[in-house]
Chain A
Amino acid sequence: MGAAGATRAESESEVGKVEMKPPITEAQAAPGVTPVATDRPAKTLDAKEVNLFYGDFQAVENVTMTVEPNKVTALIGSSGCGKTTFLRSLNRMHELNAGARVEGSIQLDGQDIYGPRVDPVQVRRLIGMVFQQPNPFPTMSVYDNVAAGLNLNGGRVKKSEKDEVVERSLRGAHLWNEVKDRLDKPGSGLSGGQQQRLCIARAIAVEPEVLLMDEPCSALDPVATLAIEDLIGELKSKYTIAIVTHNMQQASRASDITAFFNLEETGKPGRLIEIGATEKIFTSPAQQATEDYVSGRFG
């Protein structure tokens, strides 16, 4: 396996504090992708020769790819191809599984997120995750759901400051107008689409650098899905976004860059087959396997 020798133990580096280097901008843009107007230059996630394991089972083999700043990168591929596992390695959630192991390197603007002195909780604050099923804290109010991350991030936050963050985050998630009169009601009382936007508000309340989304619309109806896709399109002006989706139309509508994962057969590890501008992947992909998958020719 091409682990490139860079196991976690060897990746000792200078870090200890999560302090980031200056942002990288459109100089890195993938060919064919138009840079978006950015409200805030976001950060780059670089994966190099990443191998992921569950115990003895290798789920992902030798993935090298860049999640570019202020763009939406879609990860597509059939079930079991490792795309969700890979996504979860990007904010150190993979290691929460018993026996899970990560080889290779993942850097946020050049800083190793698996560095020995890096706090995984801090990594997850900088690289937020939105899940398939909307998962607001059921007993908490809408307000407390959004503010939850602020409380967790240590130190007391003034009420007025908290009010401001909650409003800004709910506005950022296109939810403010729908919930501003019921901020004290339970988050679980919202519709599925609203709950998912609440989770996005909760994720952006702590001002992350990157947003990872694991099939964020698969539990939603088409109208709520399009609302989330519109939101994703806006969020990329501030954040770096990676999204796992089974919905190929969603990948083609909502992403700038598409990465196709595949596995040779069941039981073999998933690999990155092709990554490129979404337009290219959906009009003239370079690999036959990509063509077969996006055309729906895998039975």
Chain B
Amino acid sequence: MPGTARVEYQEELDRLEASALGGLDLVSASLSRTLEAVEHQDVELAQIVVADDDRIDGRYLEVHQALITLLATQSPVATDLRLISALLHVLKNIERMGDQCVNVCKLIPLTGNEPPSDQEMVKLILTMGAQTKTLISQAKRSFEGRDVELARDLVRQDDAVDNLNRECFRLALEIGDDADRREWAMTMLLGARAIERIGDNAVDIGEQVAFVVTGLFREFEDASHPMG
């Protein structure tokens, strides 16, 4: 009877999947604080985000090690092997997403304690962040549900984030001749870019969902094959 053997192994694999995907909740929380720090120029909150990234890195190292142990001791094959391979990818994506939040937060002290120079640009970045949080939770749900359609839909959602990023770029170009304002805009543009990369990582997680389900790895979209 299927399912009657290797119970502990199956439980361990389930636990590690939940733990790895739980990393996306950590990223989502980290991104929320990052956006709050951006909105209020909150340097202290930004420092907390930077310090808290150790939790995301710790999750990465812990689950990664446990997956390697499963590979070494349980000789997983077929769907289990694809799942473990995918989780190793996803962990790396999560770790990168956490790093991008840190990148944004490290920019905040550079903008000084003055109020934001351009409220419209801040609003755009906050909208990008909210949209990216949706991507993160959708990536998690698609993995948990092995839902390839939901995973593919991440590409569409990510396009919206990319458009907002371009809009930020346009605003930065048009911000005027004042040197301080230009410096502020350039710094914020780096932050927008970091948030945009978080969206890309969410799409990468979606590609791993398709790999687990179908056994075929293909990028949903890349520069040379748009909407592949």
Which of A's residues lie within 8 Å of B, judged by CB?
A: 248-249, 252, 282-285, 288, 290-292, 294-299
Contacts and interface: CB of A to CB of B under 8 A. Distances in A.
B1 interface: yes
Contact of A294 (B4, B5, B77, B214): B77
B81 A283 contact: yes
B137 to A, nearest CB: 28
Nearest to B75: A249
Specify which of A284, A288, A290 lies most central, judged by the most chain B CB atoms within 10 Å of its CB.
A284
Contacts of A290: 78
B112 interface: no
B215 A284 contact: yes
Interface of B: 1-6, 75-82, 214-215
A299 B3 CA distance: 8
21 contacts: A248-B75, A248-B77, A282-B77, A283-B78, A283-B81, A283-B82, A283-B215, A284-B82, A285-B78, A288-B2, A291-B78, A291-B79, A292-B2, A294-B77, A295-B6, A295-B76, A295-B78, A295-B79, A296-B5, A298-B1, A298-B4
Given A284-B82, A284-B215, A295 B77 contact: yes
Contact of A252 (B2, B6, B77): B77
Contact of B78 (A249, A282, A298, A299): A282
Given A282-B81, A283-B81, A297-B3, 4 more contacts: A292-B2, A295-B76, A298-B4, A298-B5
Nearest to A288: B2
A288 B1 CA distance: 12
A56 B126 CA distance: 77
Contacts, number: 45
Given A283-B215, A284-B215, A294 B1 contact: no
Nearest to B79: A291
Contacts of A298: 1-2, 4-5
Contacts of B6: 295-297
Nearest to B211: A284
Nearest to A290: B78
The 9 closest A-B CB pairs, nearest first, are: A284-B215, A299-B4, A299-B5, A292-B2, A282-B77, A297-B2, A291-B78, A294-B77, A296-B6
Contacts of A297: 2-6
Contacts of B3: 297
Contacts of A248: 75, 77
B212 to A, nearest CB: 10
Contacts of A299: 1, 4-5
A99 to B, nearest CB: 32
Contacts of B80: 295
A290 B2 CA distance: 11
A290 B79 CA distance: 11
A215 B196 CA distance: 56
A246 to B, nearest CB: 14
Contacts of B2: 288, 292, 297-298
Contacts of B75: 248-249
A264 to B, nearest CB: 13
B206 to A, nearest CB: 19
Contacts of B81: 282-283
Contacts of B214: 284
B14 to A, nearest CB: 14
A298 B1 CA distance: 5
